[in-house]
């Protein structure tokens, strides 16, 4: 039986002050259907890379398993999709039919294999790479965020496939998806790594119970820390008084005899005892603070929504047909968006949801529109969160200057979203996809607007952040146009759904 043995694993990126993994020991059985869970930036993708020996670490990782990784790296996305799959090594040239079979199972036209890979929607690209994954029955699979950009049908197909697998490790933040497929959880916490036997709900319930316990303990600890800090300040004062005591009486005018040796000896003893007490106080405070490290903050977010006039129409779509590469994407579509509404655009991958948003934001007659009308009305102040953010680069300071958002407010929101302070000085291109997504989201959360247009805001985001977003939308109730495939989220925040019906 195959296993993965991890002993005393320690790893730190060069830019980090503290190790990402510190003396981790873990054993994984090949029969486990593992969900790898943790806040963005905790090292989920890094752990998968370490298992493949792609990074230098200290400690030991031993296994008799051979791994395959999703998503596969694409060398030349301009190629025909068929050739892209062959180049990955997952599909032999004489076995492309297997990819066609898997695409059919994913409810996708196999004809996409003969289109350029970079001309496909992100959801279609994900299904292509999943088709290659499904063909592979020889390896233990490391699957990183397979549901991003996938419609609900695609997610259900992936879940059905993974239920048939003997074992795997999957990174995902989709609660419904994970509950269908996993029987163990590895949780990357602030203070270490925990293993749970069960599905997502098992982990979530146990984690919530533990967090509640630690929150109560933390309240007591903070009170204790304040008491220790007060005592420490008193002891510091004693030390200073003891030091001054050595010279007490030197200013006396009566010239009486003073046994300075005795006074100095007594003062030194007092000072030594005071310094020792002070050191013990500082150590006690430090030890207490370490106990506060494992609770994930869920600070409420804010949104500077500025509602337009009640009943005002902000978006108009009339008999709209979108096109790409000369092909019509959808049947004619009409709707309006008024103040206070939150419309969710839904539909299968490739139906044109993100294309519709891009057409709305084009100030000229968009080449994406074959016929009909799509426009955001003149004078409407909107904030746009795009689907694509992978290309962000530079520093946070650069990001703030280019996008004209308040620096201090952005950092405050990032802290609420779980950013550690040492990340503020990192290059954005070195951040995880989840951290980049949070940075893009934080920008929109800084922007006063009458309308928020968010394209797949939940992709790559951890479950705590998803709950924070759901909560702020539910409380503020801004006017929104949203594209997302998380049904629980859409059912909670949307006032109505608009379905894009693809051209058959």
Q: Convert 284-347 into a string of H (helix), E (strand) and C (coil).
A: HHHHHHHCCCCCCCCCCCCCCECCCCCCCEEEEEEEEEEEECCEECECCEEEEEECCCEEEEEC
Question: 310-365: per-residue pLDDT in tens?
Answer: 999 999 999 999 998 888 999 999 999 999 999 999 998 888 999 999 999 986 66
Residues 219/237, Cβ–Cβ less than 8 Å: no
The b/e string for 419-453 (b: 16+ C-beta within 10 A; e otherwise) is bbeebeebebeebbbbbbbbbbbbbbbbbebbbbb
Q: Six-digit token pair at 436?
A: 């980049």
* Single pTM value for the model: 0.77
Q: Ranked by mean pLDDT, which of 32-41, 290-299, 398-407, 443-452 comes out on top?
A: 443-452
Question: 268-319: per-residue pLDDT in tens?
Answer: 555 555 555 556 655 655 555 555 555 666 789 999 999 999 999 999 999 9
Tell which wins on pLDDT, 492 or 121. Answer: 492
DSSP state of 167: -
Q: What is the pLDDT of residue 495?
A: 97
Q: State the residue for tokens 């049904």.
A: 487
Q: What angle do CA 75, 76, 79 make, to 5 degrees?
A: 140
Q: State the residue for tokens 């233990």.
A: 140
**Mean residue pLDDT across the chain:** 86
Residue of 120, 141, 166 whose CA lies nearest to 48: 141
Residue of 95, 98, 115 whose CA lies nearest to 106: 98
Main-chain dihedrals φ then ψ at residue 190, nearest 5 degrees: -65, -35
Q: What is the mean pLDDT of residues 98-108?
A: 86
Q: What is the pLDDT of residue 308?
A: 96
Band of pLDDT at residue 423, cut at 50, 70 and 90: confident
**Of 279-288, 325-334, 477-486, 493-502, the least confident:** 279-288
Q: What is the mean pLDDT of residues 246-267?
A: 53
Q: What is the pLDDT of residue 286?
A: 57
Q: What is the pLDDT of residue 265?
A: 57
Q: What is the pLDDT of residue 417?
A: 93
Question: 198-231: per-residue pLDDT in tens?
Answer: 999 999 898 888 777 777 776 676 677 677 667 6
Band of pLDDT at residue 181, cut at 50, 70 and 90: very high
> Does 71 sit behind a cis peptide bond, omega within 30 degrees of 0 on the bond before it?
yes
pLDDT > 70 in the chain, percent: 84
When computed from its CA atoms, the radius of gyration of the chain, rounded to whole angstroms, is 29
Q: What is the pLDDT of residue 248?
A: 54
Q: What is the pLDDT of residue 487?
A: 85
Question: 6-28: per-residue pLDDT in tens?
Answer: 999 999 988 778 899 999 999 99
What Cα–Cα distance (Å) separates residue 249 from each residue in 178, 242, 268, 453?
76, 13, 16, 76
């Amino acid at each position: 039986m195959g296993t993965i043995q991890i002993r005393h694993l320690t790893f730190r990126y060069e830019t980090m002050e503290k190790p990402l993994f510190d003396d981790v020991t873990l054993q994984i059985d090949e029969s486990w259907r593992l969900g790898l869970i943790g806040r963005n930036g905790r090292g989920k993708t890094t752990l998968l890379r370490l298992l493949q020996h792609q990074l230098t670490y200290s400690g030991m990782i031993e296994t008799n398993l051979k791994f395959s990784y999703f998503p596969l790296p694409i060398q030349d996305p301009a190629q025909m999709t068929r050739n892209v799959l062959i180049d990955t090594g997952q599909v032999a040239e004489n076995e492309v039919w297997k990819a066609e079979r898997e695409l059919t199972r994913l409810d996708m036209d196999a004809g996409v294999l003969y289109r350029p890979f970079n001309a496909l929607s992100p959801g279609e690209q994900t299904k292509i790479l999943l088709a290659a994954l499904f063909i592979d029955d020889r390896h233990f699979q490391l699957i990183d965020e397979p549901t991003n950009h996938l419609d609900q049908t695609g997610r259900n197909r992936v879940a059905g496939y993974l239920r048939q697998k003997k074992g795997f490790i999957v990174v995902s933040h989709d609660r419904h998806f994970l509950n269908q497929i996993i029987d163990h959880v590895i949780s990357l916490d602030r203070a270490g790594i925990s293993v749970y036997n069960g599905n997502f709900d098992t982990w979530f319930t146990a984690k919530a119970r533990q967090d509640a316990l630690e929150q109560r303990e933390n309240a007591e600890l903070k009170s204790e820390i304040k008491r220790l800090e007060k005592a420490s300040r008193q002891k510091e004062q004693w030390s200073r008084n003891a030091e001054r005591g050595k010279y007490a009486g030197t200013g006396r005018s009566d010239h009486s005899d003073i046994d300075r040796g005795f006074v100095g000896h007594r003062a030194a003893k007092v000072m030594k005892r005071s310094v020792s007490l002070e050191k013990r106080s500082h150590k006690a405070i430090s030890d207490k603070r370490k106990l506060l490290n494992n609770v994930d903050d869920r600070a409420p977010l804010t949104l500077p929504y500025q509602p337009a006039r009640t009943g005002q129409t902000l978006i108009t779509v009339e008999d709209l047909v979108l096109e790409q590469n000369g092909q019509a994407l959808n049947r004619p579509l009409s709707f309006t968006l008024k103040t206070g509404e939150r419309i969710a655009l839904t539909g299968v991958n490739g139906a044109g949801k993100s294309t519709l948003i891009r057409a709305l934001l084009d100030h000229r007659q968009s080449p994406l529109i074959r016929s009909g009308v799509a426009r955001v009305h003149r004078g409407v102040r909107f904030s746009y969160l795009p689907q694509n953010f992978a290309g962000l680069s530079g520093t946070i300071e650069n990001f703030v200057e280019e996008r004209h958002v308040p620096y201090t407010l952005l950092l405050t929101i990032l802290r609420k979203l779980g950013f550690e302070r040492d990340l503020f000085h990192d290059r954005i291109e070195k951040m995880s996809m989840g951290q980049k997504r949070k940075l893009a989201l934080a920008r929109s959360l800084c922007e006063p607007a009458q309308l928020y247009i968010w394209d797949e805001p939940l992709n790559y985001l951890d479950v705590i952040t998803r709950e924070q977003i759901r909560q702020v939308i539910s409380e503020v109730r801004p006017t929104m146009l949203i594209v997302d495939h998380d049904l629980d989220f859409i059912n909670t925040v949307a006032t109505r759904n608009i379905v894009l019906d693809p051209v058959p």
